[in-house]
Every structure is written in structure tokens, then in C-alpha cells.
Amino acid sequence: MKRLFSILAVAGLFVCNTNTVNAQVNANAITSNLSATIATAATMIQDAAAAESERGFVQVLKEKFIEGGAGFMGIVLLCLILGLAVAIERIIYLNLATTNTTKLKQRVEDALASGGIEAAKEVCRNTKGPVASIYYQGLDRAGESIESAEKAVVAYGGVQMGQLEKNVSWLSLFIAIAPMLGFMGTVIGMIAAFEKIAAVGNLSASLIAGDIQVALLTTVFGLIVAIILQIFYNYIIAKIDSIVNDMEDSSISLIDMLVDHKK
């Protein structure tokens, strides 16, 4: 009997050891599989991030533009191109029209003191910009009277202001039209989505998701165009105000110089 119990005890120990070994093997296998899965997922995420970075912002913008449809997206893009053309033309013109008024005033004053009206007019002829043109018109009427010179300065100042503000209204028009076109595209896309719902008879997100995405993309691009053009518009308006202030100050200085010259 004792021998039988001994055999059973040895067999029990053997079974326990075998189960323990199997459990450890299974745990190691599960751990290895889990580690491999995590490593694979991390690799996939890194690859996706690398692919997204390689596409870049411009590529994503192109894809979204194409998804938005050629209809309203093309018109919005045309507004951006025309608006940028007007803005660049105005910026170049205004930069060329900018004059160092302090230096010009000193040169005209020296020419008046040394060579008279004709010498001062020659200085204005050789200087670009609206301030020099206003000086020239005032000097050209200085031989008649101070009042005539002042009227000429005021009248020609209005002409020069109109030249500075030329085509700026078109830029403001493009700023207003671009988001309106985007909203119109959104409304049309929503109408198409509801028409699909009415035709099918039930509401399905997958059925109308594409139309809603296109509708929202037109609004986004319209707002982007308006924001870009608005920045240029504000810069142009600030530049025009600066030049107009210089014109007004220079006009007052010219009349004062002519009064001193007549004495």
C-alpha cells in the first residue's frame, strides 16, 4: 500500500510540473504574439505618418480641391487669380508712387531760392510720384496767383487720389464674391443630398456623406480665398492712406513756399 501511494505521489508531481511548464510556454507565446502585434501596428502608424508627410500640404490641398468639384471650385479659383493680379498690380504701382517727401520739399525749396519757379518745376519733372506731380501743377499756376496755385493743387490732388484707388473696388468685389460662391456650392450640395434621401426613402449617412463633404469644401475654399485677398486689400488701403497724407502735407508746404517766394 505504501508503495502504491508513493507511485501516485510521483505521478501527481509529474502532472503538476507538466501543467506548469505548459502554462509558462503558453504565456510566453501570448506575450510574443502581443509584442509582435504592437510592433506591427507601430510600424503601420509610422508608415502612414511618413506617407502623409511626403504628400505635403499642397498635395492635400489639390486633392481636396478636386474633390470639391470643378464647377464652383473653378470659379472660386478664378476669383483668387484675378484678385491676386489686381493686388500685385496695385502694390507695384503704390510702391513706385511712394516718394521721399521731405527730400523733395527741400529740393524744391532750394530750387525756388536759387533758380525760381522754372528751376523748381524742373525738379518736379525729374521726380516720379503723385506728390511731385502736385508740386508741378501748383508751380505751373504760381505765376497767376496763390489762389490759382492752391486750386490747381486741390484739383490735381483729387485726380491723383483716383489713380491711387484705381481697381481697388475690383479687389473688394472678389473678396465678397468668393465666400458667396462657396456658400452657394454648399447649398447646392445640400439640395443634392436631400434629393437622394427623398429618392431612396430613408436616411443613410453613407448615402449623403459625399455630397455634404463636397458642399463644405466649397465653403472652405471660398473663405480661404476671401481671407487671402482681404490681407492684400488692407495692406493696399493702408498704403493709399499713407500716400494721401503725404500729398496733403506736401500741398500745404508748397503753398507756404509759394507765399514766401512771392514776398
Predicted confidence (pLDDT) at residue 29 exceeds the cutoff of 80: no
Comparison of pLDDT for 85 and 213, the residue scoring more: 85
Question: Whose CA is closest to 138, among 125, 151, 119?
Answer: 151
Predicted confidence (pLDDT) at residue 236 exceeds the cutoff of 70: yes
At residue 98, φ and ψ (nearest 5 deg) are: -75, 130
Query: Residue 127: its pLDDT value, please?
Result: 84
pLDDT band with cut points at 50, 70 and 90 for residue 229:
very high
Domain ranges of the chain: 1-54, 58-262
In this predicted structure, which of 6-10, 59-63, 69-73, 85-89 has the lowest mean pLDDT? 6-10
Question: How far is Cα 195 from Cα 202, in angstroms, rounded to an integer?
Answer: 11
pTM value is 0.69
pLDDT digit string, tens, across residues 177-194: 988 888 887 777 777 777
pLDDT digit string, tens, across residues 40-56: 545 555 654 455 454 56
Predicted confidence (pLDDT) at residue 20 exceeds the cutoff of 80: no
Comparison of pLDDT for 15 and 48, the residue scoring more: 48
8 A C-beta contact, residue 138 and residue 251: yes
Total residues belonging to the chain: 263
